[in-house]
Amino acid sequence: MQWADVFTRKQYADILLDSLKFCQKNKGLRVHAWCIMPNHVHFILSASSKPTLSDILRDLKKFSSSEIIKAIKANANESRQSWMLYIFKSAVSKTVAITIINLATG
């Protein structure tokens, strides 16, 4: 599995940080610590009971990933555009295949 070093570009990391700030302000997310690495992130988070941390993270990941992909597609200066979009598409295909297998066997 290849990992795309998407967060080496400040523009894409800022999308994630803006999403975190939104969830803090509007959804009760508490951010205790965070670290953005070139190709992944680490968080120590908590949340009030409603919405749950799981709900907040689901929305955060869905929104952030779609916004980052939009930004990559719109960035004419992104030298790795085709490669990153290919990596993301491949990862989604593998996740869907694994989910289908789990549903069929589980």
pLDDT: which is higher, 50 or 60: 60
Phi-psi region of 28 (alpha: psi -120 to 50; beta: other; left: phi over 0): left
What integer is the mean pLDDT of 42-61?
A: 91
Burial of 75 by CB count in 10 Å (0-12 exposed, 13-18 middle, 19+ buried)?
middle
Give how far Cα 22 sits from Cα of 2, 61, 76, 103, 106, Å. 30, 13, 27, 34, 36
pLDDT: which is higher, 33 or 84: 33
Look up tokens 């549903």; give the residue.
103
Residue 1 in this model has a pLDDT that exceeds 60: no
CB 72 within 8 A of CB 85: yes
